[in-house]
């Protein structure tokens, strides 16, 4: 019973920091796909519970980390790769499959974003970070290209945020 309570609290804590947001579900987010993902979540939760019953908290936490990445990917699939905020935050983890992506930021204020790769090979094409925007330079959007050479999980580190922003990833290649 104690392990289930701790486990339930851990899952809730893992869900809170996922900042993905958008207005409508995207077409790829079907009832069948969600049902399949819930089955996968059930399996991951069972694996984490089994690890706790075997007194292996590291394995349980590793499984919860995998669950969190899986949830972030599901959010991105269903809501789109869109982030909105008005403060400097760490977004993600974000998972992207191989491809080329257009990254757009819209804000009337200052905005800096960089990425920290957790696994795989990915990053902004060209030199430097993802964005370094000064006031009034992205009111209608600023764009860059993000290249994923092998499936990649990464964090987006935002700083110098002075106004609300919208940051989006759009796949350019399948």
Q: Going residue by residue through the chain (174 aa), what tens digit of pLDDT does each one get?
A: 445 544 444 444 444 333 333 335 666 678 888 888 889 889 999 999 999 999 999 999 988 877 876 776 676 667 668 888 999 999 988 888 888 888 999 999 999 999 999 999 999 987 778 999 999 999 999 999 999 999 888 999 999 999 999 998 887 876
pTM above 0.75, yes or no: no
Same domain, 39 and 109: no
Number of structural domains (the chain) is 2
Same domain, 89 and 167: yes
Q: Which domain holds residue 22?
A: 2-79
The structure tokens listed for 168 are: 């989006």
CB 112 within 8 A of CB 162: no
Same domain, 23 and 101: no
Same domain, 115 and 103: yes
The structure tokens listed for 46 are: 């069972």
Q: How far apart are CA 22 and CA 79, in angstroms?
A: 6
Same domain, 105 and 145: yes
Same domain, 66 and 91: no
């Amino acid at each position: 019973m104690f392990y289930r309570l701790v486990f339930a609290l851990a899952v809730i804590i893992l869900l809170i920091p996922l900042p993905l947001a958008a207005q409508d579900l995207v077409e790829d987010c079907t009832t069948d796909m969600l049902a399949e993902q819930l089955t996968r979540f059930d399996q991951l939760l069972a694996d984490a519970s089994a690890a706790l019953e075997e007194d292996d908290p590291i394995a349980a936490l590793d499984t919860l980390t995998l669950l969190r990445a899986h949830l972030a990917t599901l959010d991105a699939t269903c809501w789109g790769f869109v982030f909105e905020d008005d403060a400097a935050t760490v977004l993600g983890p974000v998972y992207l499959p191989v491809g080329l992506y257009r990254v757009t930021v819209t804000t009337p204020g200052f905005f800096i974003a960089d990425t920290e790769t957790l696994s795989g090979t990915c990053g902004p094409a060209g030199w430097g970070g993802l964005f370094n925007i000064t006031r009034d330079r992205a009111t209608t959007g600023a764009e860059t290209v993000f290249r994923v050479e092998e499936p990649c999980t990464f964090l987006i580190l935002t700083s110098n945020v002075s106004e609300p922003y919208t940051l989006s990833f759009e796949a350019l290649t399948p």
